């Protein structure tokens, strides 16, 4: 069977660029022409490689979630022999700084939780699944920190992990509508101090 012509673009780069558009604009506001311009491809290449706009959006959502989770797991769950608690505190501090930045786009997962609900079960399922994996990564790290004697948690590692996920998503959403980082700054600082007190 004769092979078709090779693609004149890098699908991974195109997907990354489309993700940036959806992340900044949201699904409804992102126009097809805007996506094509950012991706540097034509309609035929879009449909042949990614499908329609919704299919592209779902691929972008999965790509963002997988990339975010891989980064989180490498930061929190690497078995490098180092203390776990400082890794968590460093991550919370980075969240605090990101949320305080003017023009923050927030978290793509959180943004779409605000835009979609359970009436779209496919998107709701993707969002729920990836929030659960983020929660799992935190729970694993917190459990390890407690087992190593680094901290005495005020609740189970699973419940503290859920608190972190809710805090992170809330901070990311709030940062999209205000240039003032006081609310998110204080909340994340309190989490670092209050949810994980030393022994």
Residue 3 is assigned to a structural domain of this protein: no
Question: Into how many domains does the chain fold?
Answer: 1
Instruction: Give the structural domain span for 39.
Output: 11-195
Tokens of 171: 């901070």
User: What is the maximal distance between C-alpha atoms in the chain?
Assistant: 68
Q: CA angle, 75 as apex, 71 and 79 as ends, to 5°?
A: 125
Looking at per-residue pLDDT, the higher value among 27 and 96 belongs to: 27
Q: Could you tell me the CATH number of the domain that includes residue 111? A: 1.10.357.10
Residue 71 is assigned to a structural domain of this protein: yes
Residue 125 is assigned to a structural domain of this protein: yes
Residue 34 is assigned to a structural domain of this protein: yes
Q: What are phi and psi of 35, to 5 degrees?
A: -65, -45
Task: Give tens-digit pLDDT for 120-162.
Answer: 888 888 888 988 999 999 999 999 888 888 888 888 999 999 9
Task: Give tens-digit pLDDT for 5-40.
Answer: 556 789 999 999 999 999 989 899 999 999 999 999
Residue 173 is assigned to a structural domain of this protein: yes
Q: Supply the angle between the helices 108-115 and 157-174 in degrees, to the nearest 10.
A: 80
| Among the listed residues 132, 131, 152, 130, the one whose alpha carbon sits nearest the alpha carbon of residue 142 | 152
Q: What are phi and psi of 84, to 5 degrees?
A: -85, -40
Residue 1 is assigned to a structural domain of this protein: no
Global confidence as pTM = 0.79
E-assigned strand segments in the chain: none
């Amino acid at each position: 069977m004769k092979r078709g012509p090779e693609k004149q673009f890098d699908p991974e780069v195109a997907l990354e660029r489309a993700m940036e558009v959806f992340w900044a604009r949201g699904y409804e506001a992102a126009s097809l022409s805007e996506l094509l311009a950012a991706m540097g491809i034509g309609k035929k290449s879009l449909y042949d490689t990614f499908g329609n706009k919704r299919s592209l959006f779902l691929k972008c959502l999965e790509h963002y979630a997988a990339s975010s989770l891989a980064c989180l797991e490498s930061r929190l769950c690497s078995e490098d022999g180092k203390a776990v608690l400082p890794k968590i505190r460093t991550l919370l501090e980075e969240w605090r700084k990101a949320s305080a930045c003017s023009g923050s786009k927030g978290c793509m997962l959180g943004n779409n939780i605000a835009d979609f609900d359970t009436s779209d079960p496919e998107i709701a399922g993707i969002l729920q699944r990836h929030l659960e994996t983020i929660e799992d990564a935190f729970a694993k790290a917190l459990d390890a920190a407690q087992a190593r004697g680094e901290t005495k948690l005020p609740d189970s590692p699973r419940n503290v992990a859920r608190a972190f996920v809710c805090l992170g998503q809330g901070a990311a959403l709030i940062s999209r509508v205000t240039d003032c980082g006081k609310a998110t700054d204080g909340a994340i600082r309190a989490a670092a101090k209050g949810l994980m007190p030393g022994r």
